[in-house]
Amino acid sequence: MLFSCSPFKPMVMPDAAGELPGTYALYGVEIDLTSPWWESVGSPELSRLINTALSGSFTLKEAWARLQQARSLAVQAGAARYPDLVATGSADYTRRRSESLSGGSEGDGNYALGLASNYELDLWGRIRSQQEAALLTVNATQADLQTASITVAAEVADRWVRIVSQRLQKQLLEKQLENNLTFLDLIELRFRKAMVSALDVYQQKQVVEGVRARIPLVEAETQLLMHELSVLLGRPPRTDLDLTQTDMPVIGSFPAVGLPADLLANRPDVRAAGLRLRAAEWQVAAARANRLPALRLTAGAQYGPSDLDLLFDTWLLSLAANLTAPIFDGGRRAAEVDRTLAQADEGLWGYRQAVLTAIKEVEDALESETRQREHIRGLESVMAAARKGLEEAIQRYRRGLSDYLPVLTQLIAVQDLERDLIRQQETLIRYRIGLHRALGGGWVGSADLPGASVKDGRRG
C-alpha cells in the first residue's frame, strides 16, 4: 500500500486545449498521413534535398542531443525508485618499536570490507511524480525533434522553390533582353532612314539597360539562396548541390486538412506543449509530497580480519530506518509548491496559445492560397490584355499612326507582368508549403532516430 500511495496525482484536464472551432473555413474532413507531403510536389530533386537535410542537418543533430539528455535525466529520476548498493573498504597498518633485547620492531594491520545500501520508501509518490515528469519531458523533447524535422523540411522546400523561381527570372530576363535588343535594332534602322527621332532610340536603350541591370541582382539572390540551402543540408555554403530543375513545380488542389481538433495530435509542437503541461502537473505533485515526512532505510554489512573458518561469524550487519519530517524551513517548500503551480498555469496558457496559433496558421495558409490563386488568374487576364495592347501599339507605330511612347509603355507593362507572374507562382507554392507545415501531418518518418528508449526509469 505504501508503494501505491499517490495522494497528489494530478487530475486529467479535459478542457486543457480550450474552445476549438468545429471546422476550418475551407476544409476536407479526411486527412492523409500516408506519405511525406513533399512527395506530392512530384520533384525527385526536392525529395533528395529533404532526405539529405533530415540526415545531415546540424539543427536536427542538436535536437537529437537534447533528446538524449532528456532520456538520461529520466533514467536518473527513475533510479531513485530502486535501492542503491555501494561497496566500501578500508585498511590501516601500525608499526611499533619492540622493547625486546633484540631492539627490532613489530606491526599489525587491520582492514574492513563491506556493502552499504540506501532506499527511500516513496510514501506519498514524490519519486514517482518526479519520474513521470521526466518521462513526459522526454516525450515532449522527442516532439520538439519532430517539430525541428518538419521545420527543416519546409525550409529546404522554401529555399529550393525560391532558387527555381530565380532561375526562371534569369531565363526570362535574358529572353526579354534579347527581344529588347531586337526592338532596338529595328528602331535604329528606322532612325537611320529618318523615320523616327533619336528620342525613340534613347527610350528603347533605357529599357534594354534596365533589363540588363536586373540580371546581376537575380544571380546574387540565387547564390545567396544556394548558400542558405547548403547550410540547411549541413554542408559548406559553396557546395555543389547538383540542382537541375528549371521549371516551377505544379501543385494540385488543397490536400485533406482534417479538423482543427486533429492538430492536437498531428502538430508535434502542440503535443510538446501538452506534454510539458502534464509534466508541470506532476512537478506540482512532487512539490506537495516533499512537504510530508520521508522514511529512508539504510543497511550495511562489514567483514573484518579473522580466520577463514569464522567467515560467516565475522560479518557485522546493520539495518536502520530514518523518519524525517519538515517542521520549519522558512517557507521554502511551500514556496516551491507555489512556484510549480505557477509553472503549471504557465504551461496551460502556453498550451492553449499553441493550439490557437496552430489553427490560425492553417486558416492563414488556406486563405492565402485561395486568394493567391484568384490573384494569379487575374494576373493572367491582365497579361493577355497587355499583350494584345502591345501588338496593337506596335502595328500603329509601324503604320506611323502614333509615336513610340505607347509601344514603350505596353512593352514595359508586359515585361513587368511576366516577371511578376513568376513571383506570384512562387508565392503560391510557398503558401502550400506553409499549409503542410501548419498541418504537421503527412509525416511518416517522425524523426525517431535510433537510440535508447526509456521505460520505468530504465534504459531499454
Please, which pLDDT band fits residue 114 given cuts at 50, 70 and 90? confident
More confident residue, 147 or 321: 147
Q: How far is CA 374 from CA 252, 297, 387, in A?
A: 15, 74, 20
Between CA 156 and CA 162 the distance in angstroms is 10
Question: How many other CB atoms sit within 10 Å of the CB of residue 232?
Answer: 23
447 has a pLDDT exceeding 70: no
pLDDT of residue 13: 61
Among the ranges given (99-103, 319-323, 404-408), the one the predictor scored with the smallest mean pLDDT = 99-103
Tell me which long-range contacts 1-4 makes (C-beta under 8 A, separation of at least 24): 2/121, 2/122, 2/123, 3/121, 3/122
Query: Is 307 contained in some domain?
Result: no
Query: Is 92 contained in some domain?
Result: no
Mean pLDDT computed over 116-138: 86
92 has a pLDDT exceeding 80: no
Whole-angstrom Cα Rg for the chain: 37
CA 25 from centroid of its chain's CA atoms = 27
Q: DSSP states of 247-258 as a string?
A: S-----SPPPB-
pLDDT tens-digit series, residues 411-442: 999 999 999 999 999 999 999 999 999 888 65
Please, which pLDDT band fits residue 305 given cuts at 50, 70 and 90? low
More confident residue, 24 or 353: 353
Q: How far is CA 213 from CA 224, 319, 408, 447, in A?
A: 18, 88, 18, 45
379 has a pLDDT exceeding 90: yes
Please, which pLDDT band fits residue 101 given cuts at 50, 70 and 90? low
Whose cell is 619492540? That residue is 98
Domain housing 67:
37-83+123-295+333-447
pLDDT of residue 30: 52
pLDDT of residue 98: 59
169 has a pLDDT exceeding 50: yes
Select, from the ranges 181-190, 268-277, 337-346, 419-428, the one with the highest average predicted confidence (pLDDT): 419-428
Output the average pLDDT for the chain.
83
Element (H, E) at 322: strand 315-324
Query: Is 4 contained in some domain?
Result: no
Between CA 277 and CA 264 the distance in angstroms is 13
pLDDT tens-digit series, residues 316-328: 667 777 777 787 7
More confident residue, 8 or 257: 257
Q: The C-alpha cell of 260 is what?
A: 482543427
pLDDT tens-digit series, residues 19-43: 767 666 655 545 455 568 888 887 8
By percentage, how much of the chain surpasses pLDDT 90? 41
Tell me the H-state helices in 193-255: 198-232
313 has a pLDDT exceeding 90: no
pLDDT of residue 457: 41
307 has a pLDDT exceeding 50: no
Mean pLDDT computed over 166-191: 93
CATH number at 68 reads 1.20.1600.10
Between CA 448 and CA 451 the distance in angstroms is 8
208 has a pLDDT exceeding 90: yes
Burial of 370 (0-12, 13-18, 19+ CB in 10 A): middle
Mean pLDDT computed over 249-269: 82
Select, from the ranges 68-77, 246-255, 332-341, the one with the highest average predicted confidence (pLDDT): 68-77
pLDDT of residue 123: 80
362 has a pLDDT exceeding 60: yes
Query: Is 264 contained in some domain?
Result: yes
107 has a pLDDT exceeding 80: no
The answer to whether 143 touches 269, Cβ cutoff 8 Å, is: yes
Q: Is 133 helix (H, G, I), strand (E, B) or coil?
A: helix
Mean pLDDT computed over 99-109: 60
Query: Is 18 contained in some domain?
Result: no
End-to-end CA distance of the chain: 28
118 has a pLDDT exceeding 50: yes
Mean pLDDT computed over 121-131: 84
403 has a pLDDT exceeding 90: no
Query: Is 452 contained in some domain?
Result: no
Between CA 260 and CA 355 the distance in angstroms is 9
Mean pLDDT computed over 387-392: 95
Query: Is 376 contained in some domain?
Result: yes
Query: Is 3 contained in some domain?
Result: no
Q: DSSP states of 401-417 as a string?
A: SS-SHHHHHHHHHHHHH
Number of domains into which the chain is organized: 1
Query: Residue 56: which of 213, 219, 241 has the closest Cα?
Result: 241
Whether this prediction's pTM lies above 0.85 is answered by: no
